[in-house]
Amino acid sequence: MTESGRVIPRVLVHRSAEVLAAAAAARLLTRVVDAQGERGSASVVLTGGRNGIALLRAVAASPAREAVDWSRVDLWWGDERYLPVGHPDRNETQAREALLDSLPLDPARVHAMPAADPDSDPAALGALEAAAERYAAELAAASPDGSGLFEPDVLLLGVGPDTHVASLFPDHPALGESGRAVVAVRGAPKPPAERISLTRPAILGAREVWLLAAGEDKAGAVATALSGADGASVPAAGVHGTERTLWLLDTAAAAQLPERIRPPITG
């Protein structure tokens, strides 16, 4: 913990993307079981992207998934590509294929972000903004004490090569959104241009934030974010959990970390 009360991130480096996915899956399963033991249920915010989906595949492959009571797990998304239901590029579609369709989840507890109307132009003014507002209302309604505070047990984030997390991109106005929990993102530099994202203040409510990055294309972003960059312009530098912040990397993504903060490979 720093003097400002911020939790210092812990960085773990695994020997490959496959080991990273398997280790993160084991960690997630344990965290969910522990949260259910403590509070009766667990809430997890999923991410899209290759590392987030690899983690879900690793959960699907793990016999330890039987240790979880999946009917008492709430699933949310940190961001979504605003595309029609079932579109292969939707984070929801990929998560369902990788894991969710094989779990005995309570459908009422699977909180996918709204999808675009297949018969309308997703860029048309209004619908995307209304979709973001609906998701914000869903989040507020689900807060356990009615306070509207969103405190998921684990919030997963992929890290883009440009340091984006969820659909908060560097120098995009959505990164500075402070008055709401969910924001409509237009003009995203990575397709599709229309997206929905949790805002930085919403992410900061999570008990644990885990940032996942594998591959050499992520090395620059990881080094920048962990070297004291300003979270107001470098999205990955500005997110943390209230109890814990974990950076889960493979050796390639950790390759440009300055030596003073590069931990030994954990396995």
Ligand X SMILES: O=C1O[C@H](COP(=O)(O)O)[C@@H](O)[C@H](O)[C@H]1O
Interface positions with ligand X (CB under 6 A)? 47-52, 79, 81, 91, 158, 160, 166-167, 190
CA distance 134 to 130: 6
Looking at the Cβ atoms of 33 and 123, the one nearer to ligand X is 123
Looking at the Cβ atoms of 80 and 153, the one nearer to ligand X is 80
Looking at the Cβ atoms of 18 and 108, the one nearer to ligand X is 18
Half-sphere exposure of residue 212, counting CA atoms within 13 Å on the CB side? 29
- List C-alpha distances in Å: 53 to 196, 213, 226: 18, 12, 23
| Rama region for 196: left / alpha / beta (φ>0; ψ in -120 to 50; rest) | beta
> Shortest Cβ distance from residue 236 to ligand X (Å)?
10
Looking at the Cβ atoms of 43 and 197, the one nearer to ligand X is 197
> Shortest Cβ distance from residue 80 to ligand X (Å)?
7
Asked if 77 contacts 46 with a C-beta cutoff of 8 angstroms, the reply is yes
Asked if 133 contacts 179 with a C-beta cutoff of 8 angstroms, the reply is no
> Shortest Cβ distance from residue 94 to ligand X (Å)?
9
> Shortest Cβ distance from residue 123 to ligand X (Å)?
17
